[in-house]
Amino acid sequence: MSAATDLWPDLGLSADRKLPALLLGQQAAQLGRKTRGMVLARVRSYSSGKAGFSHVLQLRVPDLGDYYYELLHVSHAILGYPATLRYMGTGVNEPVTRTANDEAEFVNALREFLGSEETRQVIQALLSQEPEEELEES
């Protein structure tokens, strides 16, 4: 019996191209380090069927249990770009939407949203809700 013929094209796999899920995951890991684990971030990804993929960047304070704050929604087709970013911020104002046509535009939009004063306020609000440890009575 002969080996099966490979009919797939040369895929030219490269680690140089970073799609939205990877970039979001990298930033999620950075927040945990930056806050010494007091506020964590995770990326939840979903298949949107023919429409592509959706990702949600969620923030969480471990001591608050299963409460997650959805900071940013990203959706894109199978190729990754263009990607639509929908920044929720503090929730006081309407969400802000940006379209990124490539990785550089995506990183710039992430920098704008994650580095904003509104994001800092969200993180500080989450930190202020962390329950204080009970003091032992003497």
Phi, psi of 28 (to 5 degrees): -60, -45
Taking each helix axis as running N to C, give the angle between helix 20-34 and helix 103-114, from 0 to 180 degrees, rounded to the nearest 10: 30
pLDDT tens digits, 116-125: 999 999 999 9
Enter the pTM of the model: 0.83
pLDDT tens digits, 46-69: 997 777 999 999 999 988 887 899
State the amino acid at position 79 in one-letter form.
L
State the amino acid at position 101 in one-letter form.
N
Map out the domains of the chain as residue ranges.
20-128
